[in-house]
Amino acid sequence: MTEAGSERNGIAAAGNWIVDRVKIVDRLPGRGMLANIRSVKLSTGGAPANVLADLARMKAPFPLTAIGIVGNDEDGRMILDRFGLMGVDLKNLRITTKAPTSFTDVMTEEASGDRTFFHHRGANALFSPFDVPISSLRCRIFHLGYLLLLDTMDQPDDECGTKAASLLRSL
């Protein structure tokens, strides 16, 4: 990043790009028991998606950049379509055929609102420092999340502890 930061503008949000399948159930069942699904809603999720969606809805007056990996599937296209319509720069949101788009089944108990999560890491597990275009980033703020769900970023690094720490140090 530049010394004074004057040439920097906007926020780049990198990391987990997830489709949440929120299912309202009549109850959270015990092991081996049955629950009835009352409704299903699809939404985008993950730290970078949540940050950029909120800023886009607030009509942030600065650039919003997405960085990460989605699968070459219906969920990945949903993420690309939604964030494209929001005006988010998607040139660094890579599509892969090596894994499906990450998703979470969110089971929400109708009466209490209690939730249980079932997560499939999918394409997010492939996200590495090599997917971050450090030399061309022009953001003032770089956001990286959810670190413990980014398998490759959580790998050991001799100098910094983890690959994510090494990436953040290089920015």
**64-90 pLDDT tens trace:** 999 999 999 999 999 999 999 999 999
d(CA 29, CA 25) in angstroms, rounded, equals 9
pLDDT (0 to 100) of residue 106: 98
**145: alpha, beta or left, given left = phi > 0 and alpha = psi -120 to 50?**
beta
pLDDT band at 7 (very low <50, low <70, confident <90, very high): confident
d(CA 90, CA 1) in angstroms, rounded, equals 21
Task: Name the percent of the chain in helix, strand, coil, to the closest 5.
Answer: 25, 35, 40
Rg of the chain over all Cα atoms, to the nearest angstrom: 18
- In this structure, of 3-12, 16-25, 120-129, 140-149, the range with the lowest mean pLDDT score is 3-12
d(CA 133, CA 116) in angstroms, rounded, equals 35
Is 53's pLDDT higher than 90? yes
pLDDT band at 24 (very low <50, low <70, confident <90, very high): very high
pLDDT (0 to 100) of residue 162: 97
pLDDT (0 to 100) of residue 6: 59
d(CA 102, CA 132) in angstroms, rounded, equals 18
- Mean pLDDT across the chain: 95
pLDDT (0 to 100) of residue 52: 98
> Residue 139 is encoded by which pair of tokens?
């953001």
Residue 163 CA to its chain's centroid (Å): 18
- In the chain, the amino acid numbered 52 is L
pLDDT (0 to 100) of residue 99: 98
